[in-house]
Structure 1
Amino acid sequence: MKLRTTIYVYTSVLFIVLLLLINGFIYFMFDRMSTDTQMERAEAEANSISTGVRNAADIVAPDDLLRSFVPAEGMLRMVRMSGDNPPAVTSLSERRLAQINPAFYPNKHTEVLKIEGVRYVFVSMPVIWADGEVVNLQVTESLASVDNNLKVLQVVLISVSLVALLAVFASSRLLGSIIIRPISSMTQTMRIIEDGGGFKTLDLQNQSKDELYEMGETFNRMMGRLKRNYEKQEQFVSNASHELKTPLTVIESYASLLKRRGMSRPDLFEESVEAIHSEAIRMREMTEQLLMMARETESFSIALEQHDLAGMVNDMARSYGTAYQREIEVETPSSEPCYAYTDINKAKQLLVILLDNARKYSEDSILIRVQPDASYVTISVTDYGPGIPADELPKVFDRFYRVDQARSRKQGGTGLGLALASEIAAQIKAEIGLESTYGKGTTAYIQFPVHHLA
């Protein structure tokens, strides 16, 4: 069942059920209140008649006395315990009531009778007659006026219900159309995208800012993100294929050269093996970084907790210096810990990337500074290499970008390290930047927040 039909059916059925319950309650309450009112009126009338009968019992004959108090649409009779009852007195329209067999009630009795499909209020009132005998003064009065009012109420309720149902049918169809319109538009847009129509967005014209509008906005944002990711993927694949093609070409060329002249030229053999070896190492590093970047773009669980970054820097500097036989100086403000919120494993990964760049582009010692303040703990890595020209600084975080292509290739750079570092920093809510003076050196820094960021 389609959503539009579901909304239409369920809305209509629910309204019909509620309407039947409400109409039934109204009809029942009106019938109950009207009947109770008539019964109270009949009881009051019976009390009034019994008073009049007792006062005039010695003066007027019983038949004439009852005839003077008979209801306009009913019957009045006196019932003795002995069964010697005078004839019942009825109105002209209710003569059939006289055929009802009388019954004596020792106490006051009130009920609703149904005779030949017509309802009557019956009241039996005990009265002490002039001779001291207790008799029943019984009043039977028609409820035809109440039944007529109920019939009118039925017509009114049915008419109102039909009009309300027509309004509900129309409004439910309108509501279904309003709800389905953006969903249908989204479905049509998805089909266009599926058929190769590119990354289309919805034309949002509703300004009410309701949930459907928010759904459309979310869809448009998702399409925009998919489009950006697709474009980045295309660019990434293009750049990766271009970067991998160069070392493969070098390896193929030197391998062909070895195949032709390697046996007769020992000097050429050594040169070729060295070139193939260096290009293979660069390809391995590039592949590892490509795989790492692909994993970093996936959704990982980041645990941002308080960590002592000064202790982490000291440990990393000691192990890194030992591994690469490099002198690494560490400056911290004091022996006290420098706490900040971060994922410690990601922070170590960032520091390793910056140390790798410093190691590749400088033969001198490397300086690491830890500088805390009220908002951030800043870790900076300074090398004293050739530096970066000012016009090249904005590009260093782009993938595969290298400042000096020839020198970077010789030193093993792939142009992926800082791009990967930028993505990792964004994941752990850190800030990364680069400062450089051409010919003097470069300082890369990372700022870790001291307070937890939502």
Structure 2
Amino acid sequence: MSLKVRLLAITSLWLLLVLLIFNTIAYYVFIHSVEKNEVLHLIRRANLVLKNPDIHNPQLWSSPTLLTEYFISEDIIRIIDLEKSVKAQSGTDTRLIDIPAHFTTEQNTTLFRSQGIAMAFVQMPIYSLDPKTSNLQIASLEIGRNLTSYTDSQKALLTILLWTSFGILIVSVVGGSFFYSTSLFKPLHQLAIAMQGVQKDGDFRRLPQAGDPKNNELIQLVFIFNEMIARLEAHSLRQNQFVLDASHELRTPLTIIESYSDLLRRWGGDDPKLREEAIDTIHSEAIRLKGMTAALLDLVVRTPTDEKLDWIDFNLTKLIDSVAQSLQVAFSREIEVLYPQVLAPLDIYLTGSPEKIRQLFIILIDNAIKYSDIGIQIKLQDEPLAVSVSIVDCGVGIPEDELEAIFERFYRVDKARNRKTGGVGLGLPIAQNIVRLHGGTIVIHSTLGEGTIVTVQLYKNGY
């Protein structure tokens, strides 16, 4: 069963239940109201009859005209004595006449059905007006009514309610089917077609969007789908660009290796100088390829669970000191580490992967060394929940219009210099990936010709 049919069936059943409850309440409220009105009407008539002094005189009960003035064709009026005998009666409806008389000592009302007809009866005591026997009950007055018109109204109301409910149900089914087809399931149908198109052809199709997604769940669904398609398309473009860039970067060293190996094969055997040059070049390019491959592997994003398998608490201060000292010796450059406390280093602990954090600062300090000619400063700033580390150099700087692109893979500001220093444009993307996996941020401020400041903020608890 399709979703449309199921929703239509559920809606119809719910509407039928609501109509059934509403109609039942309306029907019984109507019955109760009519019955109450009929009983009140009989009580008023009984009180009117009791106001006649002749009703309280037993000697006049035998008069054939005693009750005539109060008689209505649908009613019966009786006077019943203490012996429960009918002393006076006015009425022509045999169905009311056949109802046994009822003597009562207090006001009483009765509603019942006889031969399929609703009937209402009111009984009231008749007291003597003789001063000697004042307040002494001498008989009962009984007034009954045939509620034929009321019964007919009941049937008419029931018929109207049933046909009205049936009409509403039919309109609901037809209108609901049209509504579901045009308003509800049309966007879903378009969404399904778009998904099938993406699955079959690989096209990044978007759905037309009209309206505010905050006020309409279907528009919100279309908005989310379009956002997802946009991200998938952007991811696909980045993936294609990555393959192109990687192919281009790998082609260059492979071409150099191929050229020198071909040169070595042809003339290197008799020329020691050419042979040594070719071997050195092939070796350096092979190392470059190896480094590039390792860098590409570092860019492979693992799940957060995998990344946190090797997370421990470690001393960040000692780690940065160790990296700075190693690079200072390797490059014969001054690297100054500035701590929050001037007199003595403050031990700052961090939760994360010490190997990844070491790699992060090696990349950043190595970049600062490559693109500057004087000393490097590393500034640590301790905060309650996080620690900030800034690498400051006074080098060539980065043009402002290229700052947004420096985290893209294989992007190089100075391609000639990067070739000379061995860069392939993967260091900063790797650094950014490490910072992101540790829940931190990395920000670069640079002025062309003056230098660069790279600030990394890491949370102490790892997130």
Specify the TM-score bucket, using the shorter chain as the normaliser: 0.7 to 0.9
SS at match of 1:101: coil
Q: CA deviation at 1:215?
A: 1.8
Among candidates 419, 424, 429, match of residue 419 of structure 1? 429
Q: Deviations over 1:56-110 (max 9, x none)?
A: 544463544244433431212233343543364313xx12322333343344332
Question: Could you tell me which amino acid in structure 2 is paired with residue 416 of structure 1?
Answer: L
SS at match of 2:113: strand
Equivalence for 1:10:
10
Equivalence for 1:224:
230
| Structure 1: segments with no counterpart, 5+ residues | 304-310
Superposed CA RMSD:
4.4
TM-score (norm 2): 0.77
Q: Would the aligned equivalents of 1:354 and 1:444 in 2 still touch at CA under 8 Å? A: no
Higher RCO (CA-CA < 8 Å; seq separation 6+)? 1
Q: Would the aligned equivalents of 1:8 and 1:173 in 2 still touch at CA under 8 Å? A: yes
Equivalence for 1:173:
177
Q: CA deviation at 1:51?
A: 3.9
Equivalence for 1:143:
147
Equivalence for 1:353:
363
Q: Deviations over 1:189-214 (max 9, x none)?
A: 11222221521111123457522222
SS at match of 2:411: coil
Alpha carbons of 1:237 and 1:73: their partners in 2 closer, same or farther (altered >3 Å)?
Answer: same
Q: Would the aligned equivalents of 1:435 and 1:443 in 2 still touch at CA under 8 Å? A: yes
Q: CA deviation at 1:324?
A: 6.2
Distance 1:71 1:391 in 2: 105
SS at match of 1:295: coil
Equivalence for 2:80:
79
Alpha carbons of 1:30 and 1:390: their partners in 2 closer, same or farther (altered >3 Å)?
Answer: closer
Q: Deviations over 1:330-388 (max 9, x none)?
A: 2457539799x998978765433211223455686433345899xx967133266xx46
Question: Could you tell me which amino acid in structure 1 is paired with residue 336 of structure 2?
Answer: E
Q: Deviations over 1:276-334 (max 9, x none)?
A: 543343233222221222317x668999xxxxxxx946740344423662441124575
More displaced, 410-419 or 110-119?
410-419
Equivalence for 1:23:
23
Equivalence for 1:306:
none
Alpha carbons of 1:315 and 1:429: their partners in 2 closer, same or farther (altered >3 Å)?
Answer: closer
Equivalence for 1:328:
335
- Residue 284 (structure 1) aligned with residue 293 (structure 2): no
Q: Would the aligned equivalents of 1:425 and 1:431 in 2 still touch at CA under 8 Å? A: no
Q: Deviations over 1:253-283 (max 9, x none)?
A: 6677888999998877766665454334323
Question: What does 1:117-136 correspond to in 2, within 5 Å?
Answer: 117-128=116-127, 134-136=138-140
TM-score (norm 1): 0.78
Among candidates 159, 180, 185, match of residue 190 of structure 2? 185
Alpha carbons of 1:372 and 1:43: their partners in 2 closer, same or farther (altered >3 Å)?
Answer: same
Alpha carbons of 1:232 and 1:96: their partners in 2 closer, same or farther (altered >3 Å)?
Answer: closer
| Structure 2: segments with no counterpart, 5+ residues | 309-314
Distance 1:288 1:449 in 2: 25
Distance 1:365 1:81 in 2: 128
Equivalence for 2:312:
none
Equivalence for 1:381:
392
Distance 2:401 2:305 in 1: 32
Equivalence for 2:455:
446
Percent of aligned pairs with the same amino acid: 28
